[in-house]
Structure 1
Amino acid sequence: MNILVTGGAGFIGRWVVQRLLNDKHNVWILDDLSNGRKQNVDEFFGQDGLKEFIVGDIKNEALLDELFKRGQFDVCYHLGASINVQDSIDDPRTTFNNDTIGTFNIMEQCRVHNVKVVFMSTCMVYDRCADETGITEQHPTKPASPYAGAKIAAENMVLSYFYAYGLPVVVVRPFNTYGPFQKTGGEGGVVAIFVRNQLKGLPIHIYGEGTQTRDLLYVEDCARFVVEAGYSDAVNGEIVNAGLGRDITINDLAELIAAGNEHNPEQVEIAHVPHIHPQSEIQKLLCNYDKAFRLLSWKPNVSLDEGIKRTREWIRTSDLM
């Protein structure tokens, strides 16, 4: 197939691109490099399947018009977005313009050219988990940040094209994804930040009390889920979760990573610091991925321990140390 991946130079996007190339599709990447890095996809240049790498903005309608006419796409994996919760609180306009209006621009092109859409949403749209059965797709949403609000608005826009025009679309809600190629600073992934600090012998800082829990999904499992959603008609018009199906407190995660390893056997200090956005914190996130298993036969393959091991090895040998 001919496939467009917006945000394809980002953390999850580059793994989606890799899987699509491995499956022998023709792939176009569109990324404005505000979150992604060209280095993330350098290894794909020269492969027959990578047709174009376009540095461009999903808010540029003229660019999208020309690209969709040229590409004759079968599927668009729409991952391009502003993803930082604190940035959305400080500057909600930019997040809304990128995540909601940018998504509208993509949907209009996909409607005109009859292109299936896989829309990358987030578990951050959910209210806290109430029990150990986990969060299903029917769980209440709660836009506790402008980022979550923009994603919910975009989800509704995407689904409206299924109901109004019969366009094949699917909304995917991965839980907290981590692994190689994730940023290790700022509001990067908690696993990546903790691992980098441990390897460098630096303290691990926890926002707030650390009792909040996260369901941590290894990035290759996430990419497999996202890609399979684009291949299957069974999920058209649906919202689908993906996660590990177990959660861990940030305190326990810090203890696990701080304990040391063969590359740095010294246990590092763990310190609690004031939360940067307590009003947008979700106290418990635990995924119920029964629907993904039922419709896509998807389940996670990589355990948390194995995922942390792979992430640590990548960070240790990358330029992010």
Structure 2
Amino acid sequence: MRILITGGAGFIGRWVVQRLLEDGHQVWILDNLSNGRLENIKEFEGKKNLMEVIIGDIKDQALLNELFLKQFDICYHLGASINVQESIDDPATTFENDTVGTFHILEQCRKHGVKLVFMSTCMVYNRAVSFRGIMEIDPIKPASPYAGAKIAAENMVLSYHHSFGLPVVVIRPFNTYGPFQKTGGEGGVMAIFIKRKLEGKTLDIYGDGSQTRDLLYVEDCARFVAWAGYSDRVNGEIVNAGLGRDISINDLAKLIVKDDSRINHIPHIHPQSEIAKLLCNYDKAEKLLGWKPQVRLEDGILKTEQWIQSTNLI
């Protein structure tokens, strides 16, 4: 197929690109490099299936008008502002990128009959209240402008399915980690913790550390994202993906550093937007896509640590 991926030079986007290329599709990447980096996709240079890398913005309507003339079969829309604290500090930028930008992509997909896979987030949920984990029908809560912008975009995406019959799917991966994730302030907790461990620094935990995360290895996530585009069974649906196992931030820190003296608790920067318990129920993904995670948390930590040790990219 002919596929456009926005945010394809980002952390998850890079792995989705790899999966799509391995599956034999022709791939175009659109990224403004606000979160992504060209180094992430450098190894794909020269691959005959990578058709073009466009440095540009999803809000640039003239660019989109020209780009969508290439007659794509699927658009994987991963391009977004992704930082919760930045959304609190500057809600307008997150809204413009995540909601308005998604609207512009939607309009192009509607005009050209392109299936849209919309990357949302587990951060739209309230919290897990049972051991079954969070299901797609469970309550949502816009606890940050980031979550609010994603929820608004989700609703627009689904409205195009109901109003125009556009094939769309909203996907909500849980906390994704692995190689190529940034290890600084914009990175995920896993990458930051491993980097600080390797540097001999303390692992700083926001709040009391009792909050839990469901950590999904990035190659499992990329397989889920790709398959959501391939299947008509998820059209018009919201679908979760996660490990199906949660771990407290305290226990994660101990698992990584194995030395309580190197763990430090600091005041939370946005306690009002914290989600106390994130645990994914991925039954729907397994039923409709035949997808389930393959990489155990302990194995994923090892893979990620080996990658961070081996690179100077971060």
Alignment TM class, shorter chain as reference: over 0.9
Q: Does 1:64 align with 2:57?
A: no
Write the letter of the residue equivalent to 1:318.
Answer: T
Any conservation in 2 of the 1:198–1:268 contact (CA below 8 Å)?
no
Encode CA deviations 1:145-168: one digit per residue, 9 max, x unaligned.
000000000000000010000010
- The count of residues paired between Structure 1 and Structure 2 equals 314
Counterpart Cα distance in 2 of 1:270 and 1:225 = 33
* Counterparts of 2:245 and 2:149, CA distance in 1: 27
**Distance in 2 of aligned mates of 1:313 and 1:11:** 17
* Residues in 1 aligned to 2:312 and 2:219: alpha-carbon distance in whole angstroms: 21
Partner of 1:33: 33
**Counterpart for residue 12 of structure 1:** 12
Please say if 1:278 is aligned against 2:278.
no
TM-score (norm 2): 0.99
1:188 alignment partner, SS class = coil
Structure 2 residue aligned with 1:156: 155
What do the CA deviations read for 1:99-154 (whole angstroms, capped 9, x no partner)?
00000000000000000000000000000111111000000000000000000000
> In 2, Cα distance between the equivalents of 1:20 and 1:268?
44
Counterpart of 2:80 in structure 1: which amino acid?
A: A
CA distance in 2, matches of 1:36, 1:197: 22
Provide the residue aligned with 1:292 in structure 2. 285
Q: Distance in 2 between matches of 1:43 and 1:107?
A: 30
SS of aligned partner of 1:234: helix
Deviations 1:247-275 (A, max 9, x none): 00000000000127xxxxxx761000010
- Tell me what 2:191 maps to: 192
What aligned pairs does 1:65-144 form with structure 2 within 5 A after superposition? 65-69=65-69, 71-144=70-143
Q: Residue 161 of structure 1 aligns to which amino acid in structure 2?
A: Y
Aligned structure 1 segments of 4 or more residues deviating by more than 3 angstroms: none
SS of 1:310's partner is helix
C-alpha distance after superposition, 1:213-261 (max 9, x if no partner): 000000000000000000000000000000000100000000000127x
CA–CA distance in structure 2, aligned partners of residues 5 and 213 of structure 1: 31
Q: Is 1:319 aligned with 2:312?
A: yes
Q: What SS does the corresponding residue of 1:245 show, helix, strand or coil?
A: coil
Read off the aligned partner of 1:49 and give its amino acid letter: N
Amino acid in the other structure paired with 1:208: G
Residue identity opposite 1:89 in structure 2: I
Offset of residue 320 of structure 1: 4.4
In the TM superposition, residue 17 of structure 1 has moved relative to its aligned partner by 0.2
Q: 1:305 is matched with which residue: 284, 291, 298?
A: 298
Name the SS of the counterpart of 2:233 in structure 1. Answer: coil
Aligned to 2:176: 177
| Aligned equivalents of 1:189, 1:203: Cα separation in 2 | 16
Partner of residue 229, structure 2: 230
Q: Please give the alpha-carbon distance, in whole angstroms, between the structure 2 residues aligned to 1:224 and 1:276.
A: 33
Distance 1:286 1:318 in 2: 31
Distance in 1 separating the partners of 2:282 and 2:24:
28
Q: Is the partner of 1:140 in helix, strand or coil? A: coil
How far off is 1:44 after superposition? 0.4
Amino acid in structure 1 at the alignment position of 2:240: N
TM-score w.r.t. the length of structure 1 is: 0.97
Contact conserved, 1:204 with 1:268, CA < 8 A, in 2? Answer: no
1:320–1:258 Cα change, 3 Å = farther
Contiguous gaps of at least 5 residues in structure 1: 261-266
- After superposition, the CA RMSD in angstroms is 0.9
Identity %: 72
Q: 1:266-316, CA deviations, whole angstroms, 9 ceiling, x for partnerless residues? A: x76100001011000000000000000000000000000000000000000
Q: Do 1:202 and 1:268's aligned partners in 2 also have CA atoms closer than 8 Å?
A: no
CA distance in 2 between partners of 1:247 and 1:235 (Å): 25
Q: Structure 1: how far apart are the matches of 2:45 and 2:187?
A: 26
Instruction: Report if aligned partners of 1:244, 1:287 keep a CA contact under 8 Å in 2.
Output: yes
Report the Cα distance in structure 2 between the residues aligned to 1:319 and 1:139, rounded to whole angstroms.
41
